[in-house]
Amino acid sequence: MTIITLPASHTRRIGAARGTAWLGWLNRVLQAVESRRHLAEMDRRMLADIGISRAEALDEAARAPWDLTPRRR
């Protein structure tokens, strides 16, 4: 069995990349929360402009913050 050791600088870069990915995910979650809040606050005219109903807007606003996948229609 061969054991390969990585230099410390390489393992730090891997850890930093993981940290960056996690922060990117957290940023997307926070953006989803904010956009869903704005969507819930829109009036009927604004919702008609973007082509969704009040019920669809409220359904989207009620989704879990970490649910970032698009809804199927």
Residue-wise pLDDT tens digits, 14-23: 556 667 888 9
Residues 6+ apart with CB under 8 A from 28: 68
Nearest Cα residue to 36 out of 6, 5, 68: 68
Residue-wise pLDDT tens digits, 25-56: 999 999 999 999 999 999 999 999 999 999 99
Give me the residue spans of the domains in the chain: 23-65
Q: What is the model's pLDDT at position 72?
A: 73
